[in-house]
Amino acid sequence: MSRHAKTRHPVRNAIVLLFFLSGLVLLAARAVYLQVLNSDFLQSQGNQRHTRLVKDNSHRGMILDRHGSPLAVSTPVDSVWAHPPTLAEERRKWPRLAALLEMSPRELTQLLRRHEGREFMYLKRHVPPELSERVMALKIPGVALQREYRRYYPLGSVAGHVVGFTNIDDQGQEGVELAYDASLRAVPGTKRLLRDLQGNAVEVAESVVLPKPGRDLVLSIDRRIQYLAYRELKAAVFEHGARAGSAVVLDARTGEVLALVNEPDFNPNNRAGLRSGMFRNRAVTDLFEPGSTLKPFTIACALESGKYSPGSIIDTTPGVLQVGDRTFRDVHNHGVLTVAGVIEKSSNVGVSKIALALNKKSMWEMLRHAGFGQPTGVQLPGEVAGLLNPYSSWVPVEQASISFGYGISVTPLQLARAYLALANDGMALPLTLQHSETIPQGEHIMSSKTARRLQSMLELAVSDAGTGKAAQVADYRVAGKTGTVRKLTPDGYSEDKYVAWFAGFAPVNSPRLVMVITVDEPARGAYYGGEVAAPVFGHVMAGALRLLDIPPDAPRKETRLMTVKSGQVAE
């Protein structure tokens, strides 16, 4: 080897070494750049390609009746969703996917166009388990399932109006579901999903925010009494060809709503094809003139004034009374009656004469304190306050009309609240739809003596000689009042459209249940409250008293403690 060759070899080695050292420095610099200086960006890019944040749903709170039976529960279901950019690349698989989801390829194309540039879109919500399995069996990149919850209502139509329903996003829309939506609604969390090269979710990497389930709600409703009222009201509306009807049952001791039903009904589990009017809770949204069911409050004002007693004489002869340009009539000429007899025979003439002798402010205050003209406070959606004009606008004809339930509008629930005060010895209680073990604080709207006198009079109205005979319950003393009202139309009061009422409570010796029945426009056969609404009251009350194991206060072999003698009330 020559000397010149020997001198060039170390130089070549140095060049090669320098080349490798430079490469190592560049690699180290690149590593520092990627791992330190640009790590956040690269991590973000990696997450976008292989992970995504999705909603982690939880279940809505259950709605239970007072005994813990479910009225609304949430069941887990799957919804099919897709990652639009990934699905857009799988055009050849669209026809099979669209066929399973019961849509055309064109509809699927339009759906993808609407969600272009987005990371998430629903393909179909709340699918059956077998369908979700078939969709996933297609193994289409970018298509996955998300766990959601669907609301189920075990009582169906029986409690549809009071419980209400939710929409597909689990938000309350009607009834209790809407009124208490804030506490029932779940708070969703978020979770991070890992995706494979095809964009399919393979596992949950971590929970970012834990979901919070909604709170359970225990209602005052008793599902047994709810069903009983539903069955009897439905039968009566059908039998009489009525337009609609409502029934309300209250606990006389606590003001709790034990049952609230309406006809026509609807099934919250299947709302396809239903009109929005079917969802209306008529017991709190529909106003009617209460007719003769208001008479006890006129008599209460009369007794409180000191001008009258149950035995005071009222001459209703000849069964007709002219007040201004209006003529008030009784069905029959009842002649001379006591104040108790005015209630028993439901005399319009008698109660009008009494009302015209009273101070109109005192009469208005009695009605106002009974809750007329103001909401009941149960917080059901759509509740109306009713109509009670200020006493300053009353003229004699209006004062007389209001005394027997015309010129004032109430809801069935309002009337039930007013009768609760009569049953509770004059104590008005706030109404509630939530179950409570404590008795709320109320206020006296009349003296206990006046209330007990009215209880006796209302028992006469349900006697064999009264208008509410059909409301009687074997082995129990019942008190109540019928009402039959001509409906007001744009052309005046109708000659063939009526509202039939019955309001009452039982047992008289210690009232436990208050009930109001309304039947709107009975069109087949009878239309009087005593013939249409009173039998519903009797059937529901009989069943409810026995369901609650309330002891009888008038066994069949014993004579009534009340005596009917010339309209006199035994005190």
Residue 239 parent element (H or E): helix 223-239
Please tell me whether residue 397 adopts helix, strand or coil conformation: helix
> Over the stretch 11-49, which tens digit does the pLDDT of each residue have?
777 787 788 888 788 887 777 766 766 666 656 655 555
pLDDT band at 271 (very low <50, low <70, confident <90, very high): confident
Lowest mean pLDDT among 121-125, 272-276, 449-453: 272-276
Backbone angles phi, psi at 122, to 5 degrees: -80, 140
pLDDT(276) > 70 = yes
Residues whose CB falls within 8 Å of the CB of residue 353, separated by 6 or more in sequence, listed in order: 314, 316, 321
Quote the crossing angle between the two packed helices 448-461 and 412-423, to the nearest 10°: 110
> Over the stretch 332-348, which tens digit does the pLDDT of each residue have?
999 999 999 999 999 99
**pLDDT of 555:** 81
pLDDT(476) > 80 = yes
**pLDDT of 393:** 95
Query: Catalytic site residue 157?
Result: no
Is the separation of the CB atoms in 151 and 72 below 8 Å?
A: yes
Is the separation of the CB atoms in 400 and 356 below 8 Å?
A: yes
CATH for 223-547 is 3.40.710.10
Q: Which of 54, 66, 72 is nearest to 184 (CA)?
A: 72
Rounded distance, CA 514 to CA 255, Å? Answer: 9
pLDDT band at 562 (very low <50, low <70, confident <90, very high): very low
Q: Is 159 exposed, middle or buried (0-12, 13-18, 19+ CB in 10 A)?
A: buried
**pLDDT of 430:** 95
> Over the stretch 219-233, which tens digit does the pLDDT of each residue have?
999 999 999 999 999
Please state the rounded mean pLDDT for residues 270-285. Answer: 87
Residues of the chain with CATH 3.40.710.10: 223-547
CATH for 53-105+144-192+204-218, options being 3.90.79.10, 3.40.50.2000, 3.30.1360.70, 3.90.1310.10: 3.90.1310.10
pLDDT(464) > 60 = yes
Residues of the chain with CATH 3.90.1310.10: 53-105+144-192+204-218
> Over the stretch 376-433, which tens digit does the pLDDT of each residue have?
999 999 999 999 999 999 999 999 999 999 999 999 999 999 999 999 999 999 999 9
Lowest mean pLDDT among 45-54, 120-129, 175-184, 549-558: 45-54
| Marked catalytic residue, from 220, 246, 292, 403 | 292
**pLDDT of 57:** 76
SS3 per residue for 168-182: CCCCEEEHHHHHCHH
Which amino acid would we find at residue 119? Answer: E
- For 490, how many CA atoms within 13 A lie in the half-sphere containing its CB? 0
What share of the chain in percent tops pLDDT 90? 68
